[in-house]
Amino acid sequence: MSGLDRKEEEIRRMLDLRHPPLPPGLAARAAGRGRRALRRRRALRAVGWVLLVAGVVAFSVWAALTEPWSARPWWESP
């Protein structure tokens, strides 16, 4: 019997055994954790978008007030 046949036979024996009982409420707890994780991920994504938009607005206001594109180069200053 080769190594693969032995492993396959061992796996078949393990699958034929009776599975241990699951704790009551396991599915409900798993679903609750999944909902919380999804809610947290959505909140973080929303905060990220808000910060990105705030940064773009702040940069736009700064650029509009200081007009860095119209300043003379440093070698042309008096």
Q: Name residue, tokens 């919380």.
A: 36
Query: What is residue 65's predicted lDDT score, i.e. its pLDDT?
Result: 92
User: If you compute the radius of gyration of the chain from its CA atoms, what whole number of angstroms results?
Assistant: 31
What whole-number distance in Å separates Cα of residue 75 and Cα of residue 71? Answer: 11
Amino acid 3: pLDDT: 72
Q: 52 or 77, which is more confident?
A: 52
Q: Work out whether the CA dihedral 65, 68, 70, 76 comes out positive or negative.
A: positive
Inform me whether the pLDDT recorded for 33 exceeds 80.
yes
pLDDT, tens digit (0-9, with 9 covering 90-100), for 43-67: 999 999 999 999 999 999 999 998 8
Residues in CB range of 9: below 8 A, 6 or more apart = 1
| Dihedral-angle region of residue 25 (phi above 0 means left; psi in -120 to 50 means alpha; beta otherwise) | left
Whether residue 1 has pLDDT greater than 80: no
